[in-house]
Amino acid sequence: MSAKIVATTPFPGQKPGTSGLRKKVKTFRQPHYLENFVQSLFDCLEGFKGTSLVVGGDGRFFNREAVQIILKMAAANGFGRVMVGQGGILSTPAASCVIRAHGAYGGIVLSASHNPGGPDEDFGIKYNIGNGGPAPEKVTEAVYARSRDISEYRILDTPDIDIDEVGTATLGGMIVQVIDPVEDYAALMETLFDFQAIRAMFAEGFRMRFDAMSAVTGPYAHAILEGRLGAAPGTVINGQPKEDFGGHHPDPNLVHAHELVAEIFGPDAPDFGAASDGDGDRNMVLGRRFYVTPSDSLAVLAANATLAPGYARGLKGIARSMPTSRAADRVAAKLGIGAFETPTGWKFFGNLLDAGLATLCGEESFGTGSDHVREKDGLWAVLFWLNVLAARQQPVEAILREHWSAYGRDYYSRHDWEAIETTIADAMIADLRASLPTLPGQRFGAFEIAAADDFAYTDPVDGSVTSRQGIRILFACGARIVMRLSGTGTEGATLRVYLERFEPDPARHDLDTQETLAPLIAIADQIAGIRRRTGREVATVIT
Indicate the residue among 219 and 270 with the shorter CB distance to Co ion.
219
Q: Which stretch binds ligand VG1 (CB under 6 A): 229-237, 338-346, 386-394, 455-463?
A: 338-346
| Angle formed by the axes of helices 63-77 and 33-44, nearest 10° | 40
- 126 SS3 class: strand
Q: How far is the CB of 78 from ligand VG1 (least distance, A)?
A: 29
Report the C-alpha dihedral over residues 465, 470, 471, 473, rounded to 10 degrees: -90
Q: Does residue 19 belong to the site contacting ligand VG1 (CB under 6 A)? A: yes
Indicate the residue among 71 and 129 with the shorter CB distance to Co ion.
129
Closest CA to 39 of 82, 85, 78: 78
Minimal CB distance to Co ion: which residue?
Answer: 113
Question: Strands across the sheet with 338-342, in order?
Answer: 338-342, 317-321, 360-363, 367-370
Site for ligand VG1 in 380-399 (CB under 6 A): none
User: Which one of ligand VG1, Co ion, none interacts with residue 496, CB within 5 to 8 A by kind?
Assistant: ligand VG1
Indicate the residue among 281 and 459 with the shorter CB distance to ligand VG1.
281
Q: Does residue 279 belong to the site contacting Co ion (CB under 5 A)? A: yes
Q: Does residue 329 belong to the site contacting ligand VG1 (CB under 6 A)? A: no
Binding residue count for Co ion, defined by CB under 5 A: 4
- 235 SS3 class: coil
Q: Does residue 122 belong to the site contacting ligand VG1 (CB under 6 A)? A: no
Q: Does residue 281 belong to the site contacting Co ion (CB under 5 A)? A: yes
Q: How far is the CB of 516 from ligand VG1 (least distance, A)?
A: 22
**Does residue 56 contact residue 118 with C-beta atoms inside 8 Å?**
no
Indicate the residue among 252 and 317 with the shorter CB distance to Co ion.
252
Tell me the H-state helices in 24-91. 25-28, 33-44, 63-77
Contacts of 432 (CB under 8 A, 6+ apart): 471, 483, 527, 528
Indicate the residue among 242 and 249 with the shorter CB distance to ligand VG1.
249
Site for ligand VG1 in 469-528 (CB under 6 A): 486-488, 496
Residues annotated as part of the active site = 113
Phi–psi pair at 101, nearest 5 degrees: -65, -30
Q: How far is CA 411 from the centre of its chain?
A: 22
Q: Which stretch binds ligand VG1 (CB under 6 A): 257-265, 325-333, 342-350, 442-450?
A: 342-350
Contacts of 189 (CB under 8 A, 6+ apart): 195, 224, 379, 380, 383
Indicate the residue among 90 and 517 with the shorter CB distance to Co ion.
90
Q: How far apart are CA 504 and CA 372, in angstroms?
A: 33
Which residue among 281, 296, 377, 459 contacts ligand VG1 (CB under 6 A)? Answer: 281
Please, is 325 exposed, middle or buried when counting C-beta atoms within 10 Å of its C-beta (0-12, 13-18, 19+)? buried
Q: Does residue 363 belong to the site contacting ligand VG1 (CB under 6 A)? A: yes
Q: Does residue 113 belong to the site contacting ligand VG1 (CB under 6 A)? A: yes
Q: Which amino acid is at 241?
A: P
Which residue among 185, 346, 348, 455 contacts ligand VG1 (CB under 6 A)? Answer: 346
User: Which one of Co ion, ligand VG1, none interacts with residue 372, CB within 5 to 8 A by kind?
Assistant: none
Q: Does residue 277 belong to the site contacting ligand VG1 (CB under 6 A)? A: yes
**Does residue 112 contact residue 16 with C-beta atoms inside 8 Å?**
no
Query: What is the per-residue burial (b if ≥16 Cβ within 10 Å, else e) of 371-392?
Result: bbbbbbbbbbbbbbbbbbbbbe
Indicate the residue among 77 and 140 with the shorter CB distance to ligand VG1.
140
Site for ligand VG1 in 162-201 (CB under 6 A): none
Q: Does residue 277 belong to the site contacting Co ion (CB under 5 A)? A: yes
**Does residue 277 contact residue 252 with C-beta atoms inside 8 Å?**
yes
Site for Co ion in 96-115 (CB under 5 A): 113
Q: How far apart are CA 528 and CA 526, in angstroms?
A: 6
Q: Does residue 282 belong to the site contacting ligand VG1 (CB under 6 A)? A: yes
User: Which one of ligand VG1, Co ion, none interacts with residue 217, CB within 5 to 8 A by kind?
Assistant: none
Q: How far apart are the first and last CA of the chain?
A: 52
User: Which one of Co ion, ligand VG1, none interacts with residue 19, CB within 5 to 8 A by kind?
Assistant: ligand VG1
Which residue among 72, 114, 374, 415 contacts ligand VG1 (CB under 6 A)? Answer: 114
Q: How far apart are CA 222 and CA 209, in angstroms?
A: 11
Q: How far is the CB of 365 from ligand VG1 (least distance, A)?
A: 4
User: Which one of Co ion, ligand VG1, none interacts with residue 28, CB within 5 to 8 A by kind?
Assistant: none
Tell me the H-state helices in 336-395. 350-354, 378-392
Q: Does residue 345 belong to the site contacting ligand VG1 (CB under 6 A)? A: yes
User: Which one of Co ion, ligand VG1, none interacts with residue 501, CB within 5 to 8 A by kind?
Assistant: none
Q: How far is the CB of 378 from ligand VG1 (least distance, A)?
A: 9
Q: Does residue 365 belong to the site contacting ligand VG1 (CB under 6 A)? A: yes
Report the C-alpha dihedral over residues 414, 420, 424, 430, rounded to 10 degrees: 30
Indicate the residue among 52 and 140 with the shorter CB distance to Co ion.
140
Looking at the DSSP assignment, which residues form a beta bridge with residue 448? 443
Q: How far is the CB of 112 from ligand VG1 (least distance, A)?
A: 8
120 CB-side CA count, 13 A = 2
User: Which one of ligand VG1, Co ion, none interacts with residue 35, CB within 5 to 8 A by kind?
Assistant: none
Residues of the shown chain interacting with ligand VG1 in the complex, contacts defined by CB under 6 A: 18-19, 113-114, 277, 279, 281-282, 321, 344-346, 363, 365, 367, 486-488, 496
Which residues contact Co ion (rule: CB under 5 A)?
Answer: 113, 277, 279, 281
